[in-house]
Amino acid sequence: MEFIQTLLANELVVSIFLSLLPLVFIIVYALVVLYTEMKVAAHIQDRVAYMRTGWHGLLQPIADMLKLLQKEDIIPDKADKLLFRLAPIIAFVGTYAAYAVLPFSSIYIGSNINLGAFFLVAVGSLVVVGILMAGWASNNKWSLFGGVRSAAQMISYEIPTAIAIIIVVMITGSLNLQDVTKFQDGGIGNWVVFGGPLPWSQKLMLMPFTIITFFILFVSSIAEVNRTPFDLPEAESELVQGFNTEYSGMRFAMFYLSEYANLFTVSAVGVALFLGGWSSPFGTFMSGPVWGIFWFVAKAYVFVLIQIWVRWTLPRLRVDQLMYVSWKVLTPWLFACLLAVGLILVL
Amino acid sequence: MDLYTIIFYIFAVITLGAACVVVFSRNIVRAAFALLFAFFGVAGIYVFLLADFIAITQLLIYVGGILVLILFGVMLTSHQIHVDTKTGTVQTLPAVMIVSALAGTIIGIFWSTDWNVSSQLKIMDKTAPQIGELLLTKYLLPFEIASVVLLVALIGAAMIARREKKPKD
């Protein structure tokens, strides 16, 4: 007991412990989402998915994980070995850095910096570099195509994401995600997607624009995590598997984990910015630091579910359609919203 | 040595080590990827200077924009990658003169500047609102000129890229 107390008194140990908490969360969450994705996909396609490992196949994700960990780590002979080893690490670092600014609860946020929302946009670029590095180092043309496509797509869709974040920041007046969440505290009516806690006249005028902005943020976040209908980087019918074709074992698992962690991040960003983050939808009922974690994860999980649903429902876009959506549909609409929201706030 | 000093030296080593790889590597792709670590290290040092906004902007612009652009450029000219870039010693004398003049100037500035050193750790203030206010009041003209120049560059790039092929007769 005394040992634990001296440990807890040490600032370094405590900060390392606190910074590892999201990692534990990611691993548990990845198992849950893996199971959900397989089951949802199966039921959409009128199958039942795995049923034999545990009750309704509940243990299957754990078996899958054990299998991945034991696989041989194969590095192609002609690959650039140093970059090949480095790429999954950089991609995961970029993903994990985003968790530093996610406000899981009113008392838990990795780093309560003033520029949280801005930081989120910036660290996404590390993932782009990791994916490009993987595509290049594999020395495989499909991997390279996948990597370049993925990078082009993520960069294009960063623009609508950033403008959507700016619109929220204009309403809330802060880039700190904790402040943004506190601004929306006090029930479902105060959420930014419904105009935020402003006077009714402004709120009603803002509401159509905030709803459009939220929808566009959601669409561009699907594109940023490279999922169907925007999964061109992994288009298996033309590119085998995209940038991670040559990866196996633990390194493949890191890309996989990074992908699912990103899926949660983009959903969590949407939740923190538009849907009140950790605040309870019923005002003071069921609110508090621990309920905060529940609400935050539950709201984000709903959007993860919707992304899975969309993935197994819609077909894949063509490259030109993908760029068309980003530059000629989402971006102009968001600029219109930006102008309108600015005008309404000045009124 | 306290924790902050150690972290500072880690960032310094990352920056300088990566910069050396950029300069000395004969593999152009590795040199481009090493830039990632150099930019990252510089961003870390900006945080130590309490310039959080500049640090994140550094990541966004240099890693997300310029580095990815360089990588695209290198990758799309793939047949040139295994050609050794000229690293032999050509024109040694002028190079030595220019480099020593530049190094001398920088070291001179370094020694002659009266650095504002504080023994106490300052707390990060809200920097973004201050920067925004200054950009829209005191530095409005340079800000607008920079944005117009960028717009012109964008339109120019789009014009060059969009050059339509003449229909064959």
Residue of B16 and B49 predicted with greater confidence = B16
Query: What confidence tier does B146 reach under pLDDT thresholds 50, 70, 90?
Result: very high
In this complex, the residue of B56, B63, B75 whose CB is nearest that of residue A119 is B56
Q: What is the pLDDT of residues B33-56, one digit of tens each?
A: 888 889 889 988 888 888 888 888
Query: What confidence tier does B150 reach under pLDDT thresholds 50, 70, 90?
Result: very high
Mean pLDDT value of segment B59-88: 72
Looking at residue B62, its pLDDT comes to 87
| DSSP 8-state symbol, B72 | H
Contacts of A214 (CB under 8 A, 6+ apart): A164, A193, A270, A274
Looking at residue A242, its pLDDT comes to 76
Looking at residue B81, its pLDDT comes to 52
Sign of the alpha-carbon torsion through A127, A133, A138, A144: positive
Look up the pTM and report it.
Answer: 0.83
Phi/psi zone of residue A286: left (φ > 0), alpha (ψ -120 to 50 degrees), beta? Answer: left
Shortest alpha-carbon distance between residue B30 and chain A (Å): 8
As a residue count, chain B comes to 169
Looking at residue A315, its pLDDT comes to 83
In this complex, the residue of A12, A118, A121 whose CB is nearest that of residue B3 is A12
Shortest alpha-carbon distance between residue A323 and chain B (Å): 15
Looking at residue B166, its pLDDT comes to 65
Q: How far is CA B93 from CA A266, B85, B90, B100, B103, in A?
A: 55, 20, 9, 11, 15
Sign of the alpha-carbon torsion through B145, B150, B153, B159: negative
A35 and A42 Cβ atoms separated by less than 8 Å? no
Looking at residue B167, its pLDDT comes to 66
Looking at residue A2, its pLDDT comes to 65
Query: What confidence tier does B121 reach under pLDDT thresholds 50, 70, 90?
Result: low
Cα dihedral B126, B128, B131, B134, rounded to 10, equals -80
A74 and A64 Cβ atoms separated by less than 8 Å? no
Asked if A158 lies within 8 A of B57 by C-beta distance, the reply is no
Looking at residue B101, its pLDDT comes to 94
Enclosing H/E stretch for B69: helix B68-76
Asked if A115 lies within 8 A of B60 by C-beta distance, the reply is no
Which amino acid type is present at position A211? Answer: I
Q: Which one of A115, A131, A175 makes the best mutation probe of the B interface by having the most chain B beta carbons within 10 Å? A: A115
Rg (CA), chain B: 21
Q: How far is CA A260 from CA A28, A30, A95, A159, in A?
A: 11, 6, 10, 22
For B:106-165, CB contacts with A below 8 A are: 124, 126-128
Per-residue burial over A102-135, b = 16 or more CB atoms within 10 Å of its CB, e = otherwise: bbbbbebbbeebbbbbbbbbbbbbbbbbbbbbbb
| DSSP 8-state symbol, B27 | -
A207: number of Cβ within 10 Å: 14
Looking at residue B151, its pLDDT comes to 93
B64 touches chain A (CB under 8 A): yes
> Which of B153, B33, B150 shows the shortest CA–CA distance to A131?
B33
Q: Could you tell me the two tokens for B109?
A: 């500035």
Looking at residue B105, its pLDDT comes to 94
Contacts 24+ apart (CB under 8 A), B129-134: B131/B53
Residue with tokens 């204009």: A170
Looking at residue B104, its pLDDT comes to 94
In this complex, the residue of B56, B71, B128 whose CB is nearest that of residue A132 is B71
Q: What is the mean pLDDT of each run of 10 residues along chain A (347 residues)?
A: 67 79 86 87 85 82 85 80 86 88 81 83 85 83 82 84 88 84 80 79 83 89 80 72 79 85 89 84 77 86 88 83 86 90 85
Looking at residue A1, its pLDDT comes to 59
CA-CA distance, B12 to B19, in Å (whole number)? Answer: 11
CA-CA distance, A57 to A111, in Å (whole number)? Answer: 38
